């Protein structure tokens, strides 16, 4: 069994995946065509030239623009099924996927259209591939807070269709505590709480997410490494970090994968798992992220620990979890 195959067959959960970030350029053009939308790119080659990013914002600009091609429930179902089809060959057994409803609502869609399409794709994925999944409603932190609140108000009755609440988009200048009210409400609905922090922002934002949002996982969190006390806390409170190596490199959070403090943090007892973030934008799906780590010297036993961490850090019930381990 070579390393590639071993990685592809390791049972894993994907816990940090923006479903809109799995929109491949080919599908974006196909949906634009289907929905009569004109994108400012001549063809696939021209669009492909846009995928050079210098930081988080330079990526978000393209990501939000291409989200405008998603219009119908069928579009969202097709998007989800394309993702699950890809990762079904990469050992993914369970996925907790983010979506950004505020952006779709700003584009004129009813949030129920979005959710119905995604849930249909997720149901099909369970039937076709045996992959279980859940939806995490992610607050877009650089949009007005009242748009986050109104999305929450419009879906709160669909309690069982949502697994958790998250926080994403431009980080610096939008500290987690700004969203304490929405997270408090989500918690009363029985939803899990996670938040992006310490991607471009400082370790202080990770602490803020723990203290004021009671986040159960931190998405990215790699800047936690600058605060030794915080690392001790993450380890002792068993707060997993959902890291995304190819994302960090493509968004120039680090200059090279070797700079990522993953081994360092694992040695200090932090529960690290590996994810793709926005696979259509960052050059690879989840197994490609594991392979990239293998490429810089991570051993199969280290990667196996990360895969087991991903299952243990998921919000699935204990019976399903034990079946996956
Ligand atoms: N939205 C999609 N991908 C993101 C990322 N890596 N960080 C913040 N917001 C995002
Ligand atoms: Zn992310």
Kindly give the residue spans of alpha helices, DSSP state H, lying in the chain: 3-9, 25-34, 44-48, 56-67, 73-87, 101-106, 111-129, 145-155, 180-188, 203-213, 228-236, 245-250, 262-267, 279-282, 286-295, 300-312, 318-324
User: Is 278 marked within a binding site?
Assistant: yes
Question: Minimum-distance ligand to the CA of 23?
Answer: 1
For residue 151, being part of any structural domain is answered with: yes
Lowest mean pLDDT of 48-52, 56-60, 215-219, 314-318, name the range. 314-318
* Given the residues 96, 199, 200, 308, the one annotated as active site: 199
pLDDT tops 80 at residue 174: yes
Residues touching ligand 1 (Cβ under 6 Å) are 18, 21, 56, 63, 168-169, 196, 199, 247, 277-278
Question: pLDDT band at residue 131, thresholds of 50, 70 and 90?
Answer: very high
For residue 322, being part of any structural domain is answered with: no
User: Is 16 marked within a binding site?
Assistant: yes
pLDDT for 319 equals 85
For residue 277, being part of any structural domain is answered with: yes
User: Is 277 marked within a binding site?
Assistant: yes
- Residues having C-beta closer than 5 Å to ion ligand 2: 277
pTM of the model: 0.98
CATH code, domain with 83: 3.20.20.140
For residue 47, being part of any structural domain is answered with: yes
Query: Ligand 1 atom 1: the closest Cα is on which residue?
Result: 169
For residue 129, being part of any structural domain is answered with: yes
For residue 68, being part of any structural domain is answered with: yes
The residue segments making up the domain with residue 80 are 3-315
For residue 321, being part of any structural domain is answered with: no
Query: Number of folded domains in the chain?
Result: 1
Question: pLDDT band at residue 278, thresholds of 50, 70 and 90?
Answer: very high
């Amino acid at each position: 069994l070579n390393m590639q195959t071993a990685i592809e067959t390791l049972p894993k959960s994907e816990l940090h995946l923006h479903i809109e970030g799995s929109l491949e350029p080919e599908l974006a053009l196909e949906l634009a065509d289907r929905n009569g939308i004109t994108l400012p790119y001549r063809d696939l080659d021209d669009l492909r030239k846009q995928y050079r990013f210098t930081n988080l914002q330079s990526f978000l600009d393209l990501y939000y623009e291409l989200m405008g091609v998603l219009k119908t429930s069928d579009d969202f179902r097709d998007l989800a099924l394309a993702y699950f089809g890809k990762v079904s060959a990469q050992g993914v057994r369970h996925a907790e996927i983010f979506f950004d409803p505020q952006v779709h609502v700003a584009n004129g869609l009813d949030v129920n259209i979005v959710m119905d399409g995604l849930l249909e794709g997720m149901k099909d994925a369970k039937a076709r591939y045996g992959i279980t999944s859940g939806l995490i409603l992610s607050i877009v932190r650089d949009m007005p807070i009242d748009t986050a609140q109104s999305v929450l108000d419009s879906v709160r009755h669909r309690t069982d269709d949502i697994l958790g609440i998250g926080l994403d988009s431009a980080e610096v200048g939008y500290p987690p505590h700004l969203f304490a009210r929405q997270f408090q409400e989500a918690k009363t609905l029985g939803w899990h709480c996670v938040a992006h922090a310490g991607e471009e922002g400082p370790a202080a934002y990770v602490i803020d997410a723990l203290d004021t949002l009671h986040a159960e996982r931190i998405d990215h969190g790699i800047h936690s490494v600058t605060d030794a006390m915080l690392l001790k806390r993450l380890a002792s409170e068993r707060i997993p970090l959902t890291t995304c190596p190819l994302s960090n490199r493509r968004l120039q959070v680090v200059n090279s994968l070797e700079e990522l403090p993953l081994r360092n943090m694992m040695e200090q007892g932090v529960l690290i798992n590996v994810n793709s973030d926005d696979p259509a934008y960052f050059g690879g799906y989840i197994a490609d992220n594991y392979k990239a780590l293998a490429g810089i010297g991570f051993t199969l036993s280290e990667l196996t620990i990360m895969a087991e961490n991903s299952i243990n850090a998921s919000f699935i019930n204990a019976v399903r979890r034990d079946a996956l381990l």
